[in-house]
Amino acid sequence: MGDLHSAEEHGNTQISTVIFDLDGTLLSTEHLTKEILKEFLAGYGKVPDKEKEKKRLGMAQKEYAIGIVSDYDLPITPDQYVQAVMPFYHDLWLQAKALPGANRLIRHLHKHGVPFALASNSKRKNIDGKVSLQEGWKECFSVILGSDQVKSGKPSPDIFLEAAKQMGADAAHCLVIEDSVIGVRAGKAAGMKVVAVPSFHSEFDQYTIADSVLRSLLDLK
């Protein structure tokens, strides 16, 4: 797939609605997450396991925290971990930049009247905090959803199905744009077409269930 229009050709299905993930898809925050984890674990004399962290990409906050505490055998609860690191996240969100092609794509869809939503495994209040720092973003999205607004976060399809429902769109006519394997699985489970833009280019072979895999949002024209 080389452009937005070709998304409409997958399985002869007309795409009418686009649903984006946020972190790692539109916003460059994944490297910030890695830095926070590295600094936090250093306080316990531990270092991040790259392979484990790749698999954690896209997880909801609760599952992410449980995994961190368990995998690194930390003497704290998952809730204590979240409480300890959240202040660092709030500070670093100020540094988060739109990924290449994100602003152009948002403007293009908005200009042409294509409804699009934001569906993230982050909590809604955290999504609002990040999006509010990006000029012109918040008013462009028809719907914004966090994992705390649905029964189950990704890889459950709940958040994508709820976004489609709120926009009055049929799942079969929705295109999901995601950076994580967890998100891609959720989009496919929802019965939607999925374009993957992997955060780690060396991991392209992990995204075979996606309908298309791109190196950058700039490849969507």
- Active site residues per annotation: 21, 23
Tell me whether residue 2 is exposed, middle or buried, using C-beta atoms within 10 angstroms of its C-beta: 0 to 12, 13 to 18, 19 or more: exposed
End-to-end CA distance of the chain: give it in Å, rounded: 10
Bridge partners for 55 per DSSP: none
* Cα 95 to the center of its chain, rounded Å: 18
Place of tokens 């908005």: 110
Residue 77 has φ and ψ, to the nearest 5°, of -90, 160
**Helix H or strand E encompassing 150:** none
Residue type, 75: P
Residue 198: asked if its preceding bond is cis (omega within 30°), the reply is: no
